[in-house]
Amino acid sequence: MTRTARMIAVVMAFALGCISAHAAAAQDRSAPRSEPRPAANPLEGNALAISNGAAMFRNRCAGCHGADAHGYLGPDLTSYWSAGGTDARMFDIVRGGVPGTEMIGADPLRVLDKDIWQTLAYIRTLSAVPAVAPTGDAVSGERVFRANCAGCHRVNGRGGQLGPDLSRVGSARPRAGLSSKIRGTSDVIRPGYEPVTLVTRDGERIRGVRKNEDEFSIQIMDTRERLQGYVKANLTAITVDKQSLMPAYGPDRVNDRDLDDLLRYLTSLRGTTEVTR
């Protein structure tokens, strides 16, 4: 399997996991009553818990946070404790999710409290101090963003909407992942933003991102941000492209210093509006 295919597989697996978890969460279920959550991990250092937690981490977390927990689609977890994070907060994040990101809360009927503590006991064994302090200038980075990215991406209500809203991207993506996406070395495409080309019976070619599809129709946002549905019987071709609509921004378009500033700006974004759960 190529790296690209593997990445897509991981994203799709995550998306499917989200869908099934969402479907489960949508049930009006009455979860078993949990005990009050302790402030510190009661299983920290427990050998069996760490062993079980390792398998749980690989199953439930590694797809986004990386097999080594250094971050992939999701943030680096190894520096969480050295940066002042607490067991209790991490537990709450796992149980409740992070609003506005792909990080969903763990269903209490499927993931018991002890499962979360076991997973945290394992992640704690990977804990490390970050090797490099953050670099770049966020104010300058925002200018780079406005000049290059805002045509398609929105932050805090300003910008285009053909690409994903980045208002909370600092909570959702590690710096390395953002860098590779900007430089064009990442083929990760978020569900709902898969590039698609439609050809009508008149021969017109329409490019956009796929919002939905079934056996008989497809719904897209075209490159002019027009939402539109098409009946497949009226199309002669539908191509889901492998390459993102987002162009690669090499050093000729965004130099290394500007990229550093841009990454500092993006990783600082945590959103300004309350997200309703």
Partner 1 sequence: MRRSLRKQRPAVLVILACALSWTLASAQQPAASITSQDLRDGLKNPTRWLTYGGDYGNLRHSPLTQITPANVNRLVPQWQFQTDTLGKFEAAPLVFDGVVYVTGPLDTGWALDARTGRQIWRYRRDLPSGLIACCGLVNRGFGVLGDRLFKTTLDAHLVAISRKTGAIEWDTAMENFRRGYSGTTAPLVVKDKVIVGIAGAEYGIRGFIDAYDAQTGKQVWRFYTTAGPEDPGHGTWRGTDAKAWEHGGGSIWVPGAYDPELNLTYWGTGNAGPDYNGLEREGDNLYTASVVALDADTGKLRWHYQFTPHDIWDYDSTQMPVLADITLGGELRKVVLFANRNGFFYVLDRATGKLIRGKPFIQTTWAKEIRADGRPMLLPNSVPSEQGTRVCPDQSGGTNWMPPSFDPSLGLFFVTARESCGIFFTWKDDYTPGEAFRGGAVQRLGDTQSSMLRAIDVTTGERRWEFPFTTQSWAGVLSTASGLVFAGGSGNVMAFDAKSGKNLWHFQTGSSLYAGAMTYMVDGRQYVLMPAGTTLTAFALAEF
Applying CB under 8 A, which residues contact partner 1? 5, 8-17, 20, 23-24, 26-30, 32-33, 48, 51-52, 54-56, 58-60, 63, 109-112, 118, 213-217
Q: Which is nearer to partner 1, 137 or 241 (CB)?
A: 241
Please report, for residues 175, 187, 263, the alpha-carbon distance to residue 73 in angstroms, rounded to integers and kept in the order given. Answer: 10, 12, 15
212 or 273: CB nearest partner 1: 212
Q: For the CB of residue 36, give the shortest distance to partner 1 in the complex, in Å.
A: 17
What's the min distance (Å) between Cβ of 19 and partner 1? 9
- Is the Cβ of residue 216 or residue 276 nearer to partner 1 in the bound state? 216
Q: Nearer Cβ to partner 1, position 84 or 216?
A: 216
Q: What tokens does 19 get?
A: 């869908």
Residue 181 contacts residue 169 (beta carbons within 8 Å)? no
Find the length of the chain: 277
Say how far apart CA 119 and CA 121 lie, in whole Å: 5
CA distances from 70 to 83, 162, 165, 178 (A): 14, 30, 24, 14
Is the Cβ of residue 34 or residue 273 nearer to partner 1 in the bound state? 34
Nearest distance in Å: CB 247, partner 1:
25
Distance CA(252)–CA(163), nearest Å, equals: 22
As a whole number of angstroms, the distance between CA 57 and CA 2 comes to 23
Q: Which CB atom, from 138 or from 188, has the smaller least distance to partner 1?
A: 188
Phi, psi of 42 (to 5 degrees): -70, -10
Q: How far apart are CA 109 and CA 29, in angstroms?
A: 9
Are residues 88 and 39 in contact, defined by beta-carbon separation less than 8 angstroms? yes
Q: How far is CA 254 from CA 69, 152, 160, 171, 251, in A?
A: 29, 16, 19, 23, 5
Nearest to partner 1 of 56, 246 (CB atom): 56
| Rounded least distance, CB 156 to partner 1, Å | 31
Decide: 122 and 43 in contact? Cβ < 8 Å: no
CB 82 within 8 A of CB 92: no
Question: At closest approach, how far in Å is the CB of 23 from partner 1?
Answer: 8
Q: How far is the CB of 178 from partner 1 (least distance, A)?
A: 22
Least separation in angstroms between CB 187 and partner 1: 13
